[in-house]
Structure 1
């Protein structure tokens, strides 16, 4: 009998399993780890390590991405309004470098640099 990603996560994480790990495992069960990795803009190896509870680094950033993509987690962006948390994360990363030529990048650079979520991530 072949184990599903959900079975693997349950065995590795025990009870209670974090809700975002369960959502990640369910998404992998419905499609594949490779497709989930693409949706999260991460590697399949990272997804495997997370499911097996062997990811060696902090999980706050990937948890935020999973919540945005699979759990409909949103934040209220001061510039764009309601926004999935993974998109907020993407804008925060882009806002670290000021780039001219793209009005949206300039707008988000200004908005993110004043946002508590951006400032919190810098600490």
Structure 2
């Protein structure tokens, strides 16, 4: 029995020689589980994942890239408030901190800190 390589084939076809490491990791996850399961795990639609694999996603891929790097590749950054966190968590907090919330002290600290963090200028 051969391994499922549909997603990897799609990624190589769409990206060619310039296949980024994070798209490769995404394709591997899709081939190991399914595109729908990978999408659910990452918090995106299967259509968005399909478009990324095909290199036809119209919007910026930075948000998806950071999520893949955090969830599938276990990449981390050092947050001035939370310490070592996944890139996906960093992206989530940056999104949440755009609006003030006094829900708890962490939300307040992130609201104050995220805009001046070096990660805030990563092109997302």
| TM bucket, shorter chain | 0.7 to 0.9
CA separation in 1, counterparts of 2:65 and 2:105? 30
Q: What is the deviation of 1:110?
A: 2.2
CA separation in 1, counterparts of 2:25 and 2:95? 24
Q: What is the deviation of 1:3?
A: 5.5
- What's the RMSD between the two structures over aligned residues? 2.1
Q: What is the deviation of 1:121?
A: 5.5
TM superposition score normalised by structure 2: 0.87
Residue 38 (structure 2) pairs with residue 39 (structure 1): no
| Residues 22-72 of structure 1 deviation map (CA, whole Å, 9 limit, x = unaligned) | 000000001111111112111110000111111112212211111111111
The corresponding residue for 1:9 is 11
Unmatched tracts of structure 1, length 5 or more: none
- Runs of 4+ in structure 1 deviating by more than 6 angstroms, as ranges, are none
| Residues 76-110 of structure 1 deviation map (CA, whole Å, 9 limit, x = unaligned) | 00011111001000000011111113222112212
- Mapping for residues 1-123 of structure 1, pairs under 5 Å: 4-118=6-120, 120=121
TM superposition score normalised by structure 1: 0.88
